[in-house]
Structure 1
């Protein structure tokens, strides 16, 4: 009895101690991680200069996602600091871009620029005139994606001076002209006026000048991505994925004859040849460094059954070359890639409720024979052995194949189907 009493007391003490740990102040867990190293030194200098409370602001896009960006802008071996923060007054939120330099091993604020905006979208540090000093291009969200302001600064006597301020939808800093200097490419979409343009600006002296421009699809309603990447022939280009109606299109801009041209824009009838489901973006499907463009296959059965039969093409600025043909399941995140010998001979149907795709072979006599099916089954939902073999697993779900007799006769075993199956990485 004494042993039982002692054991009970010990358990009670342990539970009490554990309980104390569990009910500790959770605010400690919610604190932003403390900055260290040079970041800490920059924030310390910021605190000394800013009057009143402030909040660090983080860019939502781009490679530089920190509220404090360290960059050697002038190439002297010492990094300057660009910090984004906001302060709220009674009427509106005020954003700030603070520029800090290092003197005698200590950061100090050199300039502070107030900007009326709700957040920071992106920052780029680019040398626009080839003088070895990088300019600062910072994009700010004024009213979400509907109104954004780009501000470009140039270092003068060690301090930034504003060079340019412009409205934008997207911007890039790249050498689209292939002249060894970066250019500023601004894309601006206006649903109100149904205009969509891209302009290339070049920095000459202390100001930017418009070098060339072109029109894009004015019926687009938003832009998902704007990327600088090579064409299949290695020449530089700008790829844009845009939402148009309930679908998406890709436009490709390049320099031809010294002018910016929309080389994969609308057809003569005002439509786009690559309009497709919005969830399928341009993507490097084969890992060769060249983006492929998704274009719906000429497949009436795919349209009839509500599935996405996509042909992926590389583009050299003039012609398209097909690299892959696949049935893309956007909802469940996988594709069935067709081997060349099956091009034009496969039909796929879907059962959204069962999350199943059935694959049929289309004969020359219009006959259809089911080869296999793929179903997505959450782990623990039901016995997978009753539904076929597990092909792959991801995020607590199994992708199960059921190979039919006709599939076996056609040589479509699990190994071959596994080569045809791949998860969508986009």
Structure 2
């Protein structure tokens, strides 16, 4: 059901408000409830429509909801556009993305005539039933036993069970919520769990459990959303954001994050080393210039694979751009880092098969270690050491020396060479 269809099924005024607190959608009931047509309301600030939103010692309810707070429904007197006064009940709820970030809010305003009879409420519940049945999320009302007093068709679809079964099943336990509360919290409770359908397929479900005021008889509203595909998309987007699309290696952002985590562990334990190897392929530009970018991409993918074979299982290999790679190593002293560098040089000596024949690539490697350097300086120090290695010749490794004394103006490096017996990209 579309937003317009769902909103038109209710006599209440339904508004969508963006994070800037402007109305972006208003249902047709706005005219009857507030005396404003939807066209009049769209684009206006919600404060123009309901100025009392800005009042109260706790601050603006709109601002509080946008900040993620749950605000209870309240009744207020409202002057309609024609000057008449009407009692209205106002309900606010945050709209959240799949990442649980607040991206707006919904406002429901209904005329409140001070009804004491249950008939109008029952009539409204009956009217909303059609909307509940076509909702994209599973909905159930349970009693103290946890079994469904009412459930919609979508819940049965999500759980892979028929509605009759739900009437004799403790849904709270089934959804991983634990026992039915005997003293429920007033605020909604959110829970995410992995659920396996009777047919065998696994799904990720997000459940919201809210207590209902049922005249002393305990009731709970369960809202169940299947977020499996949303989570897969979220994971895929996160991976794209943190990994190099060509090689699949961590990108610069993730490498810096891994380095920060390594530094935090080092500070917590007060011991151990953190090292960085900064690697740049020698003469790589000639590959792109002479054989094309497709060949260049093939070389980068193969180099990434070989780097993964050369390092330890606890090391992190990343591509930070172009033909530059970096490796973060924990609990490795200088000798261990040089052994990793030597394995990298050795692994690169094997020719790479390309469309126009075989090619051997070499790399210049810079190494920096903490201590003596601060972990925040390791990338820069290793990068500088790599340039020193490149100045020494193809296939060299350079180690950044310790911090200079106060009279020095430049860093010094210790440089080592590797043996080369095959053709190179130079």
TM-score of the pair, normalised by structure 2: 0.26
More RCO (CA 8 Å, sep 6+): 2
Give the number of the structure whose residues are more often helix, by fraction.
Answer: 2
Structure with higher Rg: it is 2
TM-score with structure 1 setting the length: 0.26
| Larger strand percent | 1
